[in-house]
């Protein structure tokens, strides 16, 4: 499970997001990151029994850096205020769909899918959804998927206003053809982070997503 000290570090970082403070608390950062890394490795080891594509991953290679890239951002805070891990075949920079765990006080979640794929992969995914609509619909309407996620995320930032060129608005899959990212997430409250049940809940959450990830990766690999 996640240690309370790890969440406390992130809370303090949010209030003191500057290099001098961070340098003075590097020991706390290392302890927090090690705790998160250990948890992610447990997730990989347990979930890898169900998805061989990620079974050989090493947690250290899945974690994102705490440093923010501020070169082209108006937000000049130097550090992220969360820990994130992308459990994905081919690594965290892979073009394939995968799984994600986000640790942030009051905003933690687990889930995954594929985030803003390149145009070629986007076209393949839309075509697969269109051609295999019955299969796709069945995946997102299973009891397990609905229990953990409800539906795919569909906020305006990741969805077109109109259906893409080549498809009609009457297409039964129109809602999902308009998406620019195909992701699903489940919130995790802070109390659950500290619970021994966190690992099992996370693995169950990712298992519910696996059929969708497999579907998306079949399209990408085509």
The answer to whether the CB of 125 falls within 8 A of the CB of 178 is no
Pull the structure tokens for residue 84: 């994130």
State phi, psi for 142 to the nearest 5 degrees: -70, 155
With 0-12 / 13-18 / 19 or more C-beta atoms within 10 angstroms meaning exposed / middle / buried, residue 22 is middle
Looking at residue 56, its pLDDT comes to: 95
Strands (E) across the chain are located at: 83-87, 98-103, 108-114, 182-188
Cα separation, 121 vs 216, whole angstroms: 9
Pull the structure tokens for residue 55: 């079974």
The answer to whether the CB of 217 falls within 8 A of the CB of 89 is yes
- The CA–CA distances, whole Å, from 52 to 71, 88, 185 equal 38, 11, 22
The answer to whether the CB of 52 falls within 8 A of the CB of 67 is no
First to last CA, the chain: 38
What pTM value is reported for the model?
0.93
Looking at residue 90, its pLDDT comes to: 81
The answer to whether the CB of 81 falls within 8 A of the CB of 17 is yes
Q: pLDDT truncated to tens, each residue of the chain (222 aa)?
A: 899 999 999 999 999 999 999 999 999 999 999 999 999 999 999 999 999 999 999 999 999 999 998 887 888 899 999 999 999 988 777 899 999 999 999 999 999 999 999 999 999 999 999 999 999 999 999 999 999 999 999 988 899 999 999 999 999 999 999 999 999 999 999 999 999 999 999 999 999 999 999 999 999 998
């Amino acid at each position: 499970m996640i240690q309370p000290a790890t969440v406390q570090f992130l809370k303090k970082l949010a209030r003191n997001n500057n290099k001098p403070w961070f340098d003075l608390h590097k020991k706390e950062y290392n302890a927090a990151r090690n705790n998160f890394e250990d948890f992610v490795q447990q997730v990989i080891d347990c979930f890898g029994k169900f998805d061989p594509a990620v079974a050989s991953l090493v947690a250290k290679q899945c974690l994102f850096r705490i440093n923010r890239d501020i070169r082209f951002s108006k937000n000049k805070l130097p550090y992220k205020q969360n820990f994130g891990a992308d459990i994905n075949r081919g690594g965290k920079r892979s073009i394939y769909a995968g799984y994600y765990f986000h640790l942030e006080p009051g905003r933690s979640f687990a889930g995954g899918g594929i985030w803003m794929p390149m145009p070629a992969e986007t076209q393949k995914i839309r075509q697969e959804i269109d051609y295999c609509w019955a299969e796709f619909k069945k995946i997102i309407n299973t009891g397990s998927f609905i229990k953990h996620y409800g539906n795919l995320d569909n906020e305006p930032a990741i969805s077109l206003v109109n259906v893409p060129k080549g498809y009609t608005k009457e297409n039964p899959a129109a809602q999902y053809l308009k998406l620019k990212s195909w992701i699903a997430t489940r919130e995790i409250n802070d109390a659950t982070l500290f619970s021994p049940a966190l690992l099992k809940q996370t693995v169950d959450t990712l298992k519910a997503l696996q059929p969708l990830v497999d579907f998306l990766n079949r399209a990408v690999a085509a």
